[in-house]
Structure 1
């Protein structure tokens, strides 16, 4: 009996040793990458009308083959292997794997508005609603919009739709809350946006301070970065009044390809929304399937304009992402 137990223990030990010493195999799956960016000249003016052949997309220095290309809110086109283009919209059999062939999948922008209704926003609540409503009315008719609000919890006031009236009705129904869990709400919004095909952005309208979130802002930023969702932030605070929140807003917007604004007055808020609307209408969106790359960590993305010999143009985009493993 003692011998049997000893043999059994040795066998178990060998099995554990074999499992521990077995070389692990990691598999990295990278889906279609959606990259949105803007091009401006030396005076900050948008540069429109560039073609797929004007750009070179690199991931960790590896040149990528562009699958689809869109200029602003114009319909996306599929880029052929020889650089020519053809309409993306067609039958499912005509599209590449992973590209949604539906007529609305790559037309316009899916805009998720995240409105802070916490007690920090009491004083300017009504004016904020008006500024958001004006922004929604002015969106391109090809755009879809979802209206979310938050204080301690997230409220999905209006689901993603091209019906502007539905979004504004949802906006007018939101009620003021208490504590602020901005980054919890932003994470949930990003998860919703990630399920939608095509181009999407999240616009945060907030006073700034967060006193109730369970997640760190940089963890939320990483999700947006990896999913390719630009974040725009309009803060109703002064940039120097809350330096911690201001620093976070700069970081999450810059790292995702969006922008941050500080707009204490209603007029400044309207101007910030107008700037975002212009940004959406003057952005380029490309998709690509990454070439073989052993890097399982952060992959750096760079956008080069091959036709810009004098390097007069500036590209603003997210710096990269982490592939799913």
Structure 2
């Protein structure tokens, strides 16, 4: 089935529209002035789902039968499922609680699904704030990011981007950790901060990549030069199914405008915001994100018939009273396009 939607956002000035128009699943149409209409086609819905206990520890070892996915209250049939960095597989190939009987799968065998070894691991896009706001902590930030890159799972790939007023792609998506760290070391301090412009361009690159992908933003906070807002960018990431994680080097209450924006865009995409003033806390945040990548679940489904042509709410529940004590985090939903 084909689900399509039209979503109006403010974008970068005309000079920046050429790059944005090439976004893999976003197609732009000039409307005049500084606006463009982007269309996002939604067929297969892919969810990244984190499950934690009350202490924040990640819960592993769950199976498709342990989850219930609802879209606008309509129960969905999972087509593919994976845990951590392992390649997702068709649900029909997963046994229930160790039983040799597989989960019933009524989907056609030739249906396109994100399964197989080519979908193992995550495609991690690290977006590093190199503006003058980061001047004092620049070296410490580089070291924390380098440690994060070196510690990624073998199946993961990573890209390293820097931004101040403009975005610089220091290292394209690669499984070569040394190359990514070399790209990081090539970054230099800049001037003003156009975080949301850079994030939008990063989402453009991420949308071209098959499989699981996440964006990690490391920033001091204030955006002084963007022409696109955080909620517009968050909506695109939400529809694309790309979780955004933010590590801010400021305390939560130091810059409430930026802090609230970070919390909104991470919550709606299924990511998480960290407010880490010291390099120790920043390193801890990276460790936590790396653990989440290795512990979360990937689920995919083709939506059941639904007359709703606007926002579709997604809920992921755990089945069984013994699992009710756990917390589930994923994106809030998406906007299909007709």
TM-score range, shorter chain: 0.7 to 0.9
C-alpha change, 1:204 and 1:311, in structure 2 (3 Å) is same
The aligned counterpart of 1:175 is 188
Post-superposition shift, 1:108?
A: 0.4
Residues 95-110 of structure 1 mapped to structure 2, 5 A cutoff: 95-97=110-112, 99-100=113-114, 103-104=117-118, 106-110=119-123
Find the residue that maps to 1:80 and give its secondary structure.
Answer: helix
In structure 2, C-alpha distance between the alignment counterparts of 1:268 and 1:161, rounded to whole Å: 27
Unaligned runs of 5+ in 2: 1-39, 97-101
Post-superposition shift, 1:65?
A: 1.2
Unaligned runs of 5+ in 1: 1-27, 87-92
Q: 1:68 aligns with which of 74, 80, 83?
A: 80
Find the residue that maps to 1:234 and give its secondary structure.
Answer: strand
**Count of paired positions:** 291
Contact 1:30–1:290 (CA<8 Å) still a contact in 2?
no
State TM-score, norm by structure 2: 0.82
Contact 1:77–1:85 (CA<8 Å) still a contact in 2?
no
Contact 2:80–2:114 (CA<8 Å) still a contact in 1?
no
Greater CA radius of gyration, 1 or 2?
A: 1
Residues 256-271 of structure 1 mapped to structure 2, 5 A cutoff: 256-271=269-284
Q: Deviations over 1:119-170 (max 9, x none)?
A: 1011111110000000000000100100011000111111111111111011
Find the residue that maps to 1:248 and give its secondary structure.
Answer: helix
In structure 1, C-alpha distance between the alignment counterparts of 2:224 and 2:271, rounded to whole Å: 24
The aligned counterpart of 1:131 is 144
1:37 aligns with 2:49: yes
Post-superposition shift, 1:43?
A: 2.7
C-alpha change, 1:242 and 1:272, in structure 2 (3 Å) is same
State TM-score, norm by structure 1: 0.85
The aligned counterpart of 2:157 is 144
In structure 1, C-alpha distance between the alignment counterparts of 2:114 and 2:267, rounded to whole Å: 28
Q: 1:284 aligns with which of 273, 290, 297?
A: 297
Residues 1-325 of structure 1 mapped to structure 2, 5 A cutoff: 30-80=42-92, 84=102, 95-97=110-112, 99-100=113-114, 103-104=117-118, 106-309=119-322, 311-325=324-338
C-alpha change, 1:289 and 1:281, in structure 2 (3 Å) is same
Find the residue that maps to 1:241 and give its secondary structure.
Answer: coil
RMSD: 2.1
In structure 2, C-alpha distance between the alignment counterparts of 1:301 and 1:127, rounded to whole Å: 39
Post-superposition shift, 1:29?
A: 5.2
